Chain A
Amino acid sequence: MIEKLDNNEHILLMYMADELPPEDRLEVDQMLAVDANLRDELRLLEETDGTLRQELARMDAASPESSEGAAVRRVSREIRRRVVRSAAPSEAHVASERRRSLWWVYPTAAAAVIILAAAVWMPRRATPPVVPFRNMPTPEFAGWYAMSRLYQESWDEPDEYDNAPSAPDDAVAMTDGPKETGMPVDPLNQLLLSADAN
């Protein structure tokens, strides 16, 4: 260990504090035996160290025991208070634990609502509007009714049918419906109107 110390002063301090390994201590003993300056330096350090310890002990003994004891007791009480308080679960902690244990309730409820809503809404969206019975086309127009269903399904693509013929020419002739309005003609409505007219 001596080789790690920078100088003789450091070695002497470690020697004085009895913190050197036995083999290093033996080596220092040999150095002290032959070096008078080193011995003087060690003696001065030991005297100063001894005086300091003595005076510090006297100073500590002179300081009022009651104030130090009181300070230590105050800390003891505070530690006891904190330890006891931390050992008892707080109401907030209990509530939070309860909430933590039921964490799955809200997500499950939300998922159930979403699924229910989807189950109700989706079929409505897929089902075409029901035509009142009285407006149902007569058998004579069943074929055209089927055709009109195809047109109805393509309503979302106005561009394709903007200029499409409003209905087959025979249908128009039978219904005597509007011929030239300048607007896109709804084939189903035309058939229904013609059914009503009949």
Chain B
Amino acid sequence: MAVQVAHESGTPAVNDNDEAMIQRLRDGDAAAGEALVKRYGQPLLRYLQRVAGEQVAEELHQQTWLSVLDHIEKFDSASSGGGFKAWLFRIATNKANDFWRSRGREKIARDGLRLVTEEEAPAAGHRLEGSEQEEKLRRSIAQLPENQRQVLMLRYYSDLKFVEIARILGCPLNTALGRAHKALLKLRELMGE
């Protein structure tokens, strides 16, 4: 996959595919790392915003990239189905899951043993002046069960195939498809279509 990326420091645009950039990053080329961030940073951040909430998305985003840096030597694009992008989104998904698990424990501790349905409220700092439709969509996505939300958002923001998504989530293909189908039906119902 050749993508043209304009570099911040004024160096010529890089037409390297992901594997070439990864090799350059391993060799200590910081510019290659920055180019990868520019290539995938925004969709990754938006994915995390939809899945984990906007308040923690940036922190999870940073953690994801630092994890990539820490484990870049171990990454093998040949054995990793979906290549670097799938690996990147898998790390991000794991970070989001860890966040939700810890948040779930905090909720249990705070509310006693009563599990509270987690309804993500819009961030206080995010005053959406957009359409009512957008707000409705935001709330609808937040109301989806976590596993359904992950499948759907992975589909839209990573543009990975269902087979790769199933691998990222560690579930069979049919399970991933079932979650996607239920999520679409639920959203249709919530959006009032």
Partner of A59, one of B37, B42, B130, B174: B130
Decide if A99 is an interface residue (CB 8 Å cutoff): no
Contact A79 B37 (CB under 8 A): yes
Q: How far is the CA of A149 from the CA of B188 in the complex (A)?
A: 112
**Nearest-neighbor residue (CB-CB) of A44 within chain B:** B188
Q: A45-B184, A52-B187, A71-B58 are in contact. Are A80 and B130 (CB under 8 A)?
A: no
Set of chain B residues within 8 Å of A63, measured between Cβ atoms: 46, 49, 126
Contact B61 A71 (CB under 8 A): yes
Decide if B177 is an interface residue (CB 8 Å cutoff): yes
Contact B69 A17 (CB under 8 A): no
Interface string of B169-193 (1 = CB under 8 A from A): 0000110011011001101100101
Interface string of B70-90 (1 = CB under 8 A from A): 000000000000000000000
Q: How far is the CA of A63 from the CA of B162 in the complex (A)?
A: 27
Q: A48-B187, A56-B156, A76-B37 are in contact. Are A68 and B45 (CB under 8 A)?
A: yes
Set of chain A residues within 8 Å of B61, measured between Cβ atoms: 71, 75
Contact A55 B133 (CB under 8 A): yes
Set of chain B residues within 8 Å of A53, measured between Cβ atoms: 156
Contact A72 B45 (CB under 8 A): yes
**Nearest-neighbor residue (CB-CB) of A60 within chain B:** B46
Q: A14-B177, A47-B193, A56-B156 are in contact. Are A84 and B30 (CB under 8 A)?
A: yes
Q: How far is the CA of A75 from the CA of B8 in the complex (A)?
A: 13
Q: How far is the CA of A65 from the CA of B126 in the complex (A)?
A: 13
Q: How far is the CA of A76 from the CA of B62 in the complex (A)?
A: 9
Contact A56 B137 (CB under 8 A): yes
Q: How far is the CA of A13 from the CA of B69 in the complex (A)?
A: 35
Cβ of A38 to closest chain B Cβ, rounded Å:
14
Decide if A173 is an interface residue (CB 8 Å cutoff): no
Interface size on B, residues (CB 8 A): 48
Decide if A86 is an interface residue (CB 8 Å cutoff): yes
Partner of A52, one of B37, B156, B162: B156
Contact B62 A74 (CB under 8 A): yes
Interface string of A37-53 (1 = CB under 8 A from B): 00000001101110111
Set of chain B residues within 8 Å of A72, measured between Cβ atoms: 37-38, 41-42, 45
Near A by CB (< 8 A), chain B positions 54-69 give 58, 61-62, 65-66, 69
Contact A10 B30 (CB under 8 A): no
Set of chain A residues within 8 Å of B191, measured between Cβ atoms: 51
Decide if A164 is an interface residue (CB 8 Å cutoff): no
Partner of A10, one of B29, B133, B161, B174: B174
Cβ of A94 to closest chain B Cβ, rounded Å:
17
Contact A13 B180 (CB under 8 A): yes
Decide if B109 is an interface residue (CB 8 Å cutoff): no
Partner of B178, one of A6, A52, A86: A6
Set of chain B residues within 8 Å of A179, measured between Cβ atoms: none
Can you report 19 A-B residue pairs in the complex whose CB atoms are below 8 A from each other? A14-B177, A19-B161, A19-B162, A52-B152, A52-B156, A59-B138, A62-B134, A68-B45, A71-B61, A71-B62, A72-B41, A73-B8, A74-B62, A76-B37, A76-B38, A78-B65, A78-B66, A80-B30, A83-B28
- Residues on A lying within 8 angstroms of B by beta carbon are 4-6, 9-10, 13-14, 17, 19, 44-45, 47-49, 51-53, 55-56, 58-60, 62-63, 68, 71-76, 78-80, 82-84, 86-87
